[in-house]
């Protein structure tokens, strides 16, 4: 499958990926509305860690044997057997945070929405859950610090 | 001669289209001008009556060691001045008015004379130049400095007959049927924006070179500014003039064969060079690099006449027509096939000349001689005129 | 002391569009932007803005525009705000005014007064999509006359070394130190891809660039930084830099803070010391000394590489160039007064030197007058803004051109002219790792390759329109140019006719 890779030597900590991710995962798909109007506020799934001297856009690896799926108690976290995309279903998620603690990369976060915590993670910008799309973080990166390339194993 | 001076060659640069033809007997036997006249006349529509002319080789066997100057005069003063100048620098064996026929369509012809001369031996010696360079510089002087005089040709045992009119009328005017030559070339002119004038008609000649040309070379100024470095003053600003100078520079001064000179002017493409074996590629690259400003670009077909024979050349992209055919020892060249067939209906090997590939027709005796000669070129050791001046060169530009 | 200087720019932020994402804040090395949580909006330190436009380009919502500081001047056409600000600055610091990039003053740009020709009727234009359209150029010294064996197709006389350019354009000298290694790497990669050359400038050849050495012209300048036999042997050609268009007559000064470990190793000087290039080469006080250096370099490289000599376009450029040719230079480089720089005294940059168009025309004509033009190559530098400028330069007489500013603009440079601060937000004129990291050579090289490929297509189309299918036939072909808005003298020097003639 195609996966997103972060190249730390080219990450410049601008965080345009975060903005793009948040916009894509908004209802309006409009940056201004996503940041100022929408409620619940859309969440960005990619997150740049580090700072000026060293930074890296942390993102889900869509592991071949994902620990998050293994640990999920509600069946919300699944890996699509065909596409390999790992997604969390906000309807089923109960916000138990098992996935957060099991992910070796820190790529899953649970954020409080209106009534419960929900696990958020990269869905490869698919239009449908489990289908990969064209990741908007990769498109927004000005320095090719995020690349979306074919990789081994699904 | 009432045309506006400002529209002449030399004042403005004139692109033009044309018809060209050439006929040669490789055996060296001489033929009169009736065939070439018929051939060029067939291509009447390729000219517009603003210029026609012929070059003929082998016409003055009795004076073959002397330079035959064909000179056109607008006035008596011009003739007096020119003859005084020639007297100073040359020894004249014979001078006479060129016999002409009155032709209805030819209006206001100049006074045309011919002189059979040899360079003044002492002056030649003092000039430090070789005989050709010496003669050439004096031809340049007459054309550039003497108002109303123009040297139409200056080679040995050859001559140019040219003027304003259709080539068939010009031929009749000069009575070219009365001359017998082993090679003839002809030109019918279609200048696009000038009234035409006698000196500016083609063939353009220099020493033994004559050039007839159809086309418009887009590399003109590159070529002009290249040859002007070496003392060739492009007074007429025509393509034919600069092509002639390029041949003179490469063949006479740098010692290349005419074929190699033509090859330099239509150099191999880089794509072809890249496919050659390394040694050949290095050879072609060196030629292209050293003589890069001698590359002739834009549409042209050219027939070069010289004491060796004829050479036909097309631009690298073959943007102009030029046909060749043979019959026995005869070789025919013309812009149109019909112009060959009209004089030689059973011509053989009729073919179109390939773009960028020189088509060489040598006299049998020349070909024999060349086979025995070294294949290395011998650049002329004598200096160029501009290299021996006392005063700095005058600036020619602008 | 109270700073009398006014801000130069004002950051206009569209509050309707700003989402306070902070991309601008993180993009600006000058610390202009700040997301203020207390105010709940992004604030700007206008005085720190240099108008590099990084934030403008980076802003995800295009909420930012940089405008001029709206202060009116005194109303005097003589005492303009610019001059008054310069005085205020010098009154404050007592120093020479420093500037970067090329001369920005409104002197005539002759390129804009030269129009190109095209074929109509009498001569067909050539379609570059159908016919070969040759833009290859070889640079080097020429014998003027060749001796060959025609039958065997072999050279008898030796041919001096040449470098081969597939496009009639090279990247001018910019040293490692003045620009980042990533910037040099970008140009090196682009040069290799395009079949042309980059120039090390006076900064040595960084070991990471050695794989690209076959596409490098190695420069020898008055400071001789980074020069050793290995360096000379590595490059495809050697260039002696006598002068630079942006600062004729003076040397260079790379401050110690830019001499980090890598720059120090590449320049072969101690870390942290100022790298000072003297105004003249102290072994070249006259033309005969230049000849000695040229031949020393040729000896050192076994006559296998062409040696170029670069001068700034100054009043007597034509005579100097002729001397250079006779001193043995294979390639003559003339750099016009619009040429860029990483740092130059402002008064020098803005007032010294002459336009490249006039210098080039004069040099080409002078070499022809002396009958030696065909024995050397001539390269013009100093602001080639488009493919049309390249065509004009070649038609005036250049074999090829050098361009740097255009290539840097392709890398992201916005001509803010703040190179000397070392805080280039585009990662070009800086050595700070957090900034140089912003220039990914993979992207940058692609952009430069795209630019030059685009230019080359345009050059081919313009040539085709002229009925020319090899760039050899464009060189010095001044009939392909016509002047507009020029006086007699200008036409005479340029050697072109007026439009309509």
Taking CB atoms and an 8 Å cutoff, what residues of chain C touch A142?
Answer: 58, 438
pLDDT band per the 50, 70, 90 thresholds, residue C138: very high
Kindly state whether C41 is in contact with chain A, defined as any CB-CB distance less than 8 angstroms. no
Does residue B4 register a pLDDT over 60?
no
**Which residues are paired to B180 by β-bridges?**
B32
Within 10 angstroms of residue A82's Cβ, the number of other Cβ atoms is: 10
- B-to-C residue pairs, Cβ atoms closer than 8 angstroms: 154
- Name which of C54, C40, C74 is nearest C11 in CA terms: C54
Whether C433 contacts chain A with CB within 8 A: yes
Rounded-to-integer distance, Cα C381 and Cα C404, Å = 9
Closest CA to B181 of B358, B50, B340, B54: B54
User: Tokens representing B99?
Assistant: 């016999």
Do B359 and B339 contact (CB within 8 A), yes or no? Answer: no
The domain tally of chain B equals 1
- Does A29 contact C at CB distance below 8 Å? no
Task: Name the pTM for this structure.
Answer: 0.93
| Partners of residue C434 in chain A, C-beta under 8 Å | 12-13, 52-53
Compute the residue count for chain C.
501
Question: Token match 């230019």: residue?
Answer: C455
| Angstrom distance (rounded) from CA B108 to CA B120 | 34
User: What's the confidence (pLDDT) of residue B3?
Assistant: 45
In CATH terms, the fold of domain C9-95 is Alpha-Beta Plaits (3.30.70)
The more confidently predicted of residues B249 and B236 is B249
What is the distance in angstroms between the Cα of B202 and the nearest Cα belonging to chain C? 18
- Residue B389 pLDDT exceeds 80: no
Q: Give residue limits of the domains in chain C.
A: 9-95, 137-476
Contact indicator for A42, A27 with CB cutoff of 8 Å? yes
Chains B+A touching (3+ CB pairs under 8 Å): no
- CB distance A143–C61 less than 8 Å? no
pLDDT at residue C66 in the model: 98
Per-residue pLDDT, B128:
86
Please report the residues numbered 93 through 152 in chain C whose beta carbons come closer than 8 angstroms to any beta carbon of chain A: none
Single out the residue of C187, C251, C254 nearest to residue C409, CA to CA: C187
Q: Is C470 in contact with B17 (Cβ distance < 8 A)?
A: no
Q: Is C428 on the interface with A (CB under 8 A)?
A: no
Task: Please tell me the distance in Å from C42's CA to the nearest CA on chain A.
Answer: 14
Active-site position among B10, B16, B18, B35: B18
**Cα separation of the two ends of chain A:** 5
Give the Cα separation of B112 and B148 in Å (integer): 12
Where does the pLDDT of residue B16 fall: very low under 50, low under 70, confident under 90, or very high at 90 and above? low
Would the CB atoms of A14 and C27 count as touching at under 8 Å? yes
Tell me the mean pLDDT in the region C262-285.
94
- Say which residue, C118 or B50, is predicted with more confidence: C118
Q: How far is A17 from chain C (nearest CA, A)?
A: 10
Residue B359: strand pairing partners: B312
User: Of the candidates C151, C162, C475, which has its C-beta nearest B375's C-beta?
Assistant: C151
CB spacing of C442 vs A144 below 8 angstroms: yes
Is domain A2-150 classified as CATH 3.40.50.720? no
Candidate from A9-13, B45-49, B227-231, B386-390 with smallest mean pLDDT: B386-390
First to last CA, chain B: 27
> Rg of chain A's alpha carbons, rounded to an integer?
15
Confidence at residue A81, expressed as pLDDT on a 0 to 100 scale: 94
| Closest-CA distance of chain A to residue C22, Å | 8
- The confidence score (pLDDT) of residue B385 equals 61
Q: Is B234 a catalytic residue?
A: no
Q: Residue C23 in 3-state DSSP?
A: helix
Strand partners, B362: B309
B290, B386, B395 ranked by CB distance to C371: nearest: B386
For residue A13, give the nearest of C16, C26, C433 by CB distance.
Answer: C26
Chain C contacts of B287, Cβ < 8 Å?
146, 148
pLDDT, mean of residues C438-444: 98
* pLDDT surpassing 60 at residue B1: no
B218: nearest CB among C123, C369, C475 = C123
C77 by Cβ neighbours in 10 Å (0-12 / 13-18 / 19+) ranks as exposed
User: For C414-436, what is the mean pLDDT?
Assistant: 95
At C243 the pLDDT is: 95
Residues of A in contact with C438 (CB under 8 A): 12, 142-143
Question: What is the pLDDT at residue B201?
Answer: 86
Cα-based distances in Å from C366 to C77, C306, C319, C369: 40, 22, 7, 5
Partner-chain residue, chosen from A12, A16, A53, that has the shortest CB–CB distance to C60: A16
| Bridging pattern class, strands C41-44 and C114-116 | unpaired
Query: Is C23 within 8 Å of A142 when comparing Cβ atoms?
Result: no
For position A42, what pLDDT does the model report?
Answer: 92
Distance from CA of B142 to the nearest CA of C (A): 23
Residue B201 lies in a domain: yes
* A47 has a chain C CB within 8 A of its CB: no
pLDDT bracket for residue C453 (50, 70, 90): very high
Mutate to test the interface with C, among A6, A9, A11, A14 (most CBs of C within 10 A): A14
pLDDT at residue B2 above 70? no
The residue in chain B having the minimum alpha-carbon distance to the alpha carbon of residue C496 is B398
Q: Output the six-digit token pair for C11.
A: 């950051």
Does residue C418 have a pLDDT over 50? yes
The CATH number linked to B244 is 3.60.20.10
- C468 contacts in chain B (CB < 8 Å): 218-219, 297-298
Q: Write the DSSP string, B61-75.
A: GGGTTSEEEEEEESS
Q: Taking 80 as the threshold, does the pLDDT of residue B262 lie above it? A: yes
**What letter would DSSP give residue B317?**
T
Q: Residue B30 pLDDT > 70, yes or no? A: yes
Per-residue pLDDT for C338 more than 60? yes
Indicate which of C330, C394, C472, C487 best probes the interface with B, i.e. most B CBs within 10 Å of its own CB. Answer: C472
Instruction: State the smallest CA–CA distance between residue C362 and chain B in angstroms.
Output: 11
Contacts of C27 in chain A (CB under 8 A): 14
Q: What is the pLDDT of residues B263-289, one digit of tens each?
A: 999 999 999 999 999 999 999 999 999
Residue A56 in contact with partner chain C when CB distance is under 8 A: no
**For C434, nearest residue in chain A (alpha carbons):** A53
**How far is C336 from C349, CA to CA, in rounded Å?**
11
Count other Cβ atoms within 10 Å, centred on residue B365.
12
Three-state SS for C309?
Answer: strand
In a domain, B5, yes or no: no
Whether B6 is covered by a domain: the verdict is: no
Q: How far is C188 from chain A (nearest CA, A)?
A: 19
Q: Which residue has the tokens 């000026």?
A: A52
Q: Domain C137-476 is in which class?
A: alpha beta
Residue C59 pLDDT greater than 70, yes or no: yes
Q: Does residue B395 surpass a pLDDT of 80?
A: no
C253 or B193: which leads in pLDDT: C253
Residues 6+ apart with CB under 8 A from C240: C219, C220, C221, C281, C290, C293, C294, C297, C307, C308, C309, C310, C329
What is the helix (H) or strand (E) element at residue B160, kind and residue range?
Answer: strand B158-163
Q: Which residue has the higher pLDDT, B182 or B380?
A: B182
Name chain A's partners: 3 or more CB pairs within 8 A.
C
Percent of chain C scoring above 70 in pLDDT: 100
User: Chain C: nearest CA to B93, how far in angstroms?
Assistant: 37
For residue B1, tell me if it sits in a domain. Answer: no
Neighbouring residues of B277: CB distance < 8 A, sequence distance ≥ 6: none
Q: Is C466 helix (H, G, I), strand (E, B) or coil?
A: helix
In a domain, B2, yes or no: no
- Pair C204, C193: CB distance under 8 Å: no
The size of the A-C interface in CB pairs under 8 A is: 54
Residue in chain C lying closest to B257 (CA): C150
Indicate whether C57 pLDDT > 70: yes
Reply yes or no: is the peptide bond before residue B325 cis, omega within 30 of 0.
no
Residue C173 scores a pLDDT above 80 = yes
What is the percent of chain C with per-residue pLDDT over 90, rounded to a whole number? 95
| C40 CB-contact burial (10 Å; exposed 0-12 / middle 13-18 / buried 19+) | exposed
Each residue of C93-117: pLDDT tens digit? 999 999 999 999 999 999 999 999 9
Chain A residues whose CB is inside 8 A of the C60 CB are 16, 19-20, 23, 31, 140
Please answer yes or no on whether C480 and B221 come within 8 Å at the CB atom.
yes
Task: Assess A53–C contact: CB distance below 8 Å, yes or no.
Answer: yes
Subunit contact C149:B375, Cβ cutoff 8 A? yes
Distance CA A97, CA C451 (A): 51
Per-residue pLDDT of B298-346, as tens digits, reads 889 999 999 999 999 999 998 889 999 999 999 999 999 999 999 999 9
Are C21 and A15 an interchain contact pair (Cβ–Cβ within 8 Å)? yes
Segment B65-90 mean pLDDT = 96
Interface contact C121-B282, CB threshold 8 A: no
Nearest-CB residue to B271 (from C123, C132, C148): C132
Residue A24 has pLDDT above 90, yes or no: yes
- ∠ at Cα C253 (C250, C257), nearest 5°? 170
**For the residues C425-442, what does the mean pLDDT come to?**
97
DSSP type of residue B250: I
| C415 in contact with A, Cβ within 8 Å | no
Q: How confident is the model at residue B200 (pLDDT cuts 50, 70, 90)?
A: confident
Per-residue pLDDT at B398: 37
C61 vs A contacts (CB less than 8 Å): 31-32
Q: How far is A67 from chain C (nearest CA, A)?
A: 32
Chains that touch C (3 or more CB pairs under 8 A): A, B
Look over chain C and give the mean of its residue pLDDT values, rounded to a whole number: 96
Q: What is the mean pLDDT of residues B159-179?
A: 94
The pLDDT assigned to A154 comes to 73
Phi first, then psi, for residue B141 (nearest 5°) are -65, -45
| Any C CB within 8 A of A151 CB | no
d(Cα B112, Cα B180) in Å, to the nearest integer?
20
Given a cut of 90, is residue B191 above it in pLDDT? no
B230 lies in some domain: yes
pLDDT at B8: 56
Mean pLDDT of chain B: 90
Of residues B299 and C64, the one with the higher pLDDT is: C64
pLDDT at position B386 is 59
């Amino acid at each position: 499958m195609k996966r997103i890779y972060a190249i730390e030597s080219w990450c410049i900590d601008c965080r345009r990926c975060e903005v793009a991710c948040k916009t894509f995962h908004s209802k309006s798909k409009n940056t201004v509305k996503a940041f100022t109007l929408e409620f619940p506020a859309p969440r960005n799934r990619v997150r740049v860690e580090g700072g000026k001297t060293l930074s890296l856009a942390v993102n889900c690896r869509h592991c071949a044997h994902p620990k998050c799926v293994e640990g999920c108690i509600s069946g919300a976290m699944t890996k699509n057997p065909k596409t390999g995309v790992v997604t969390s279903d906000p309807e089923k998620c109960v916000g138990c945070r098992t996935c957060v603690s099991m992910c070796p990369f820190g790529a899953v976060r649970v954020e409080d929405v209106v009534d419960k915590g929900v696990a958020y993670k990269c869905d490869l910008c698919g239009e449908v859950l489990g289908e990969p799309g064209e990741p908007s973080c990769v498109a927004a990166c000005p320095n090719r610090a995020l690349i979306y390339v074919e990789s081994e194993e699904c | 001669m009432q045309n506006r001076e400002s529209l002449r060659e030399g004042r403005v640069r004139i692109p033009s289209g044309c018809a060209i033809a050439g006929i040669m007997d490789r055996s060296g036997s001489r033929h009169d001008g009736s065939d070439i006249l018929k051939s060029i006349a067939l291509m009447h529509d390729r000219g517009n009556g603003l210029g026609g002319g012929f070059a003929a080789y082998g016409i003055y066997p009795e004076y073959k060691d002397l330079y035959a100057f064909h000179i056109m005069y607008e006035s008596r003063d011009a003739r007096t001045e020119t003859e005084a100048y020639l007297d100073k620098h040359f020894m004249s064996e014979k001078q006479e008015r060129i016999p002409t026929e009155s032709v209805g369509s030819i209006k206001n012809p100049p006074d045309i004379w011919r002189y059979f001369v040899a360079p003044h031996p002492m002056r030649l010696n003092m000039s430090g130049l070789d005989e050709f360079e010496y003669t050439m510089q004096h031809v340049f002087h007459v054309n550039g400095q003497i108002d109303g005089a123009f040297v139409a040709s200056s080679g040995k045992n050859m001559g140019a007959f040219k003027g304003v009119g259709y080539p068939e009328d010009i031929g009749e005017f000069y009575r070219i049927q009365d001359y017998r030559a082993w090679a003839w070339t002809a030109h019918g002119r279609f200048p696009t924006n000038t009234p035409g004038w006698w000196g500016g008609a083609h063939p353009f000649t220099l020493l033994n070179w004559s050039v007839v040309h159809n086309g418009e070379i887009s590399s003109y100024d590159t070529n002009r500014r290249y040859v002007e470095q070496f003392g060739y003053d492009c007074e007429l600003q025509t393509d034919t003039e600069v092509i002639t100078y390029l041949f003179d520079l490469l063949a006479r001064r740098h010692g290349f064969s005419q074929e190699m000179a033509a090859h330099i002017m239509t150099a191999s493409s880089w794509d072809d060079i890249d496919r050659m074996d390394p040694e050949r590629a290095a050879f072609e690259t060196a030629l292209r690099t050293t003589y890069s400003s001698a590359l002739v670009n834009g549409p042209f077909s050219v027939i070069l006449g010289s004491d060796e024979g004829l050479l036909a050349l097309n631009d690298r992209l073959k943007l102009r027509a030029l046909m060749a055919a043979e019959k026995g020892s005869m070789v025919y060249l013309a812009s149109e096939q019909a112009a060959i067939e009209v004089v030689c209906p059973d011509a053989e090997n009729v073919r179109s000349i390939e773009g960028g590939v020189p088509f060489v027709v040598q006299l049998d005796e020349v070909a024999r001689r060349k086979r025995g000669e070294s294949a290395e070129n011998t650049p002329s050791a004598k200096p160029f005129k501009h290299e021996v001046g006392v005063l700095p060169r005058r600036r020619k530009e602008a | 002391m109270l700073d009398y200087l006014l801000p130069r720019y004002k950051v206009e932020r569209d509050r309707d569009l700003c989402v306070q994402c902070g991309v601008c804040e993180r993009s600006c090395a000058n610390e202009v932007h700040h997301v203020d949580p207390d105010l709940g909006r992004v604030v700007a330190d206008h005085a720190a803005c240099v108008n590099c436009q990084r934030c403008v380009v980076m802003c995800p919502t295009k909420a930012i525009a940089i405008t001029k500081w709206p202060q009116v001047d005194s109303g005097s056409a003589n005492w303009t705000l610019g001059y008054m600000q310069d005085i205020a600055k010098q009154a404050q610091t007592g120093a020479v005014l420093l500037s970067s990039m090329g001369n920005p003053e409104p002197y005539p740009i002759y390129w804009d007064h030269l129009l190109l020709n095209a074929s109509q009727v009498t001569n067909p234009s050539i379609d570059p999509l159908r016919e070969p359209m040759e833009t290859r150029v070889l640079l080097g010294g020429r014998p003027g006359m060749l001796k060959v064996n025609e039958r065997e197709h072999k050279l008898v006389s030796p041919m001096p070394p040449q470098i081969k350019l597939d496009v009639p354009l090279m990247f001018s000298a910019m040293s490692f130190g003045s620009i980042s290694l990533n910037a040099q790497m970008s140009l090196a990669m682009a040069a290799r891809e395009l079949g042309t050359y980059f120039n090390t400038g006076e900064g040595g050849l960084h070991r990471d660039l050695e794989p690209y050495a076959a596409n490098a012209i190695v420069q020898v300048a008055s400071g001789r930084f980074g020069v050793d036999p290995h360096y000379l042997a590595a490059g495809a050609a050697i260039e002696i830099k006598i002068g630079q268009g942006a600062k004729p007559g003076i040397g260079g000064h790379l401050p110690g803070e830019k001499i980090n470990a890598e720059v120090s190793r590449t320049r072969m000087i101690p870390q942290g010391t100022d790298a000072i290039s003297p105004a003249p080469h102290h072994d070249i006080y006259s033309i005969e000394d230049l000849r000695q250096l040229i031949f020393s370099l040729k000896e050192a490289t076994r006559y296998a590489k062409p040696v170029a000599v670069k001068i700034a376009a100054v009043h007597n450029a034509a005579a100097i160039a002729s001397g250079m040719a006779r001193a043995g230079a294979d390639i003559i480089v003339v750099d016009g007064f619009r040429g860029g720089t990483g740092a130059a005294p402002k008064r020098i940059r803005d007032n010294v030197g002459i336009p490249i168009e006039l210098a080039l025309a004069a040099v080409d004509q002078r070499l022809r007058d002396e009958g030696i033009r065909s024995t050397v190559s001539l390269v013009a530098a100093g602001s080639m803004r488009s493919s049309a400028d390249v065509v004009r330069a070649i038609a005036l007489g250049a074999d090829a051109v050098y361009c740097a500013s255009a290539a840097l603009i392709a890398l992201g440079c916005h001509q803010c002219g703040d190179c000397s601060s070392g805080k280039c937000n585009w990662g070009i004129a800086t050595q700070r790792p957090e900034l140089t990291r912003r220039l990914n050579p993979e992207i940058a090289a692609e952009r430069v390759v795209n630019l030059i490929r685009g230019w080359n297509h345009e050059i081919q189309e313009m040539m085709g329109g002229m009925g020319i299918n090899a760039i050899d036939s464009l060189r010095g072909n001044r009939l392909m140019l016509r002047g507009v808005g020029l006086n007699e003298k200008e036409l005479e020097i340029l050697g072109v006719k007026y439009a309509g003639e």
